[in-house]
Amino acid sequence: MSMTPPEAAIIRTDWTREEIAALFDLPLTELLFRAAQTHRAHHAADEVQLCTLLSIKTGGCPEDCGYCSQSAHADSGVEATKLMDVRAVLQSAAQAKDAGSQRFCMGAAWRNPKDRDMPKIVEIVQGVRAMGMETCMTLGMLSPEQAEQLAEAGLDYYNHNVDTGPEYYDRVITTRNYQDRLDTLAHVRNSGINVCSGGIVGMGETRADRVGFVHTLATLERHPESVPVNALVPVKGTPLGDMLADTPMAKIDDIEFVRTVAVARICMPKSMVRLSAGRESMSDATQALCFMAGANSIFTGDKLLTAPNAGDDSDAALFARLGLKPMESEEPMRAEKACAGACAPESIPAE
Ligand code: SAM
Ligand code: DTB
Ligand code: SF4
């Protein structure tokens, strides 16, 4: 029988920074216990969603995101390519489906899509959907009209990360601001496409910045349906990759990463919390802690967009070792696309 306490089941969008900071400060045993309770109130705790990534347009991006191998400002050795042909994208999607992936996520190294790119993008969305996979795209900033176009094409999710807390943002990126990100998220939300938004841990930010990061997402009018939590993959030739190479002690502590996952789970109970980039360099034990902390989605395959990922074989071994299984059902929030009431802020009873 479920012994879930009522607060684990409640969805709130009125979190304060103080409350979030207090969660981070909990003894790890208590924090994991509370995150696990929240996880079980809304999800099957032994199921993990499998998503596959494909870079449909790589490199040469005009933005200066300090972590990114695809920025034209970086000297990472990543070659710029043109937007892939529709047929080649559909071939990759078919392979991902055969490998058991539920969702196909496509990324383009753009500041924003040009209107002339949209017909091809629409064709790709329609083609992947016709294969029976969920579609996700991450193409940079969108206008309200472009978001509508993608919604009409049937796009299921749009990924656009806030990346970090508002105070640290301009230390990481200078070619756009935090509000630009929030505006695109609003256009995506208004178009009816599900929102995927998260960030990166380990960019030299403080605990307070991580609190601010979770606070931004957890106080959106409606929580993102997916929340990717990436650990910085240090890439040589990028400002943040080089910073980590020079100051190895700046690398994020595994337990602090796990805490961030747990706090995201508690603050956004229904969202899919995705253990994203950086998994390749995590031990099985750290990943296990992340799953106990409520992570319930991963990227599969041996490549992310440009960075290596834990491959299918090591994931199969990890799942067998931990007794986890791929999620088969549709993720819980999709069925509630039109819900307003169930997502309205409520308050947690005092402890
Ligand atoms: N250009 C689009 C944009 O920025 O929205 C889409 C692609 S971008 C690569 C998607 C996300 O990947 C970024 O927002 C960032 O959070 C994450 N990312 C990129 N490089 C990373 C790295 N080296 N380590 C961890 N996460 C990374
Ligand atoms: C997200 O938050 N993580 C994924 C997805 N959204 C597009 C991308 C991670 C990229 C890691 C670095 C690379 O592959 O270049
Ligand atoms: Fe461009 Fe996206 Fe990389 Fe930033 S994260 S440089 S916007 S591809």
Residue 203 has pLDDT above 60, yes or no: yes
Q: Which ligand is nearest to the Cα of residue 65, counting in written order? A: 3
Closest atom, ligand 2, to C-alpha of 159: 6
Closest ligand to Cα 136? 2
pLDDT of residue 9: 76
Give the model's confidence band at 329: pLDDT under 50 very low, under 70 low, under 90 confident, else very high.
Answer: low
* Three-class DSSP category at 139: coil
**Active-site entry in 34, 51, 61, 210:** 61
Q: Which residue has the tokens 């993102």?
A: 224
pLDDT score of 15 more than 70: yes
Mean pLDDT of 165-184: 97
Q: Which two tokens stand for residue 342?
A: 């169930």
Ligand 2 centroid to Cα of residue 161, in Å, is 10
Of 48-52, 238-242, 311-315, the range with the highest mean pLDDT is 238-242
Of the candidates 275, 265, 267, the residue with the CA atom closest to the CA atom of residue 219 = 267
Q: Is 109 in the pocket of ligand 1 (CB under 6 A)?
A: yes
Q: Which of 83, 48, 119, 117 is nearest to 329 (CA)?
A: 48
Phi–psi pair at 51, nearest 5 degrees: -125, 150
pLDDT value of residue 311: 84
245, 236 in Cβ contact below 8 A? yes
Q: Which residues line ligand 3 (CB under 6 A)?
A: 61, 63, 65, 68, 70-71, 109, 140
CA distance 211 to 31: 15
Q: Is 277's C-beta closer than 6 angstroms to any atom of ligand 1?
A: yes
343 noted as active-site residue = no
| Rounded mean pLDDT, 164-180 | 97
Is the predicted pLDDT of residue 25 greater than 90, yes or no?
yes
Alpha-carbon span 55 to 105, nearest angstrom:
9
Residue range 137-148, pLDDT digits in tens: 999 999 999 999
CA distances to 26, 91, 178, 273, 334 from 8, rounded to whole Å, are 16, 42, 30, 16, 20
pLDDT at 332: 41
Window from 94-103, 124-133, 253-262, 272-281 with minimum mean pLDDT: 94-103
Mean pLDDT of 301-313: 89
CB-based contact 74:236 (threshold 8 Å): no
Q: Quick one: what percent of the chain has pLDDT higher than 90?
A: 82
Span 60-86, pLDDT tens digits:
999 999 999 999 999 999 999 999 999
The whole-angstrom separation of Cα 333 and Cα 270 is 7
What average pLDDT does range 306-322 have in this prediction?
Answer: 91
- Check whether 339 has a pLDDT greater than 60: no
> For residue 4, what pLDDT is reported?
61
Task: Tell me which DSSP letter residue 70 carries.
Answer: T
Output the average pLDDT for the chain: 91
Q: What is the pLDDT of residue 3?
A: 52
Q: What is the tens place of the pLDDT at every residue in 247-274?
A: 887 889 999 999 999 999 999 999 999 9
Q: What is the pLDDT of residue 29?
A: 98
Q: Which of 78, 105, 233, 305 to mutate to test the pocket of ligand 2 (most atoms within 8 A of CB)?
A: 305
* Confidence (pLDDT) at 330: 56
Q: What is the CA radius of gyration of the chain?
A: 19
Q: Is the pTM of this model over 0.85?
A: yes
pLDDT band at residue 345 under the 50/70/90 scheme:
very low
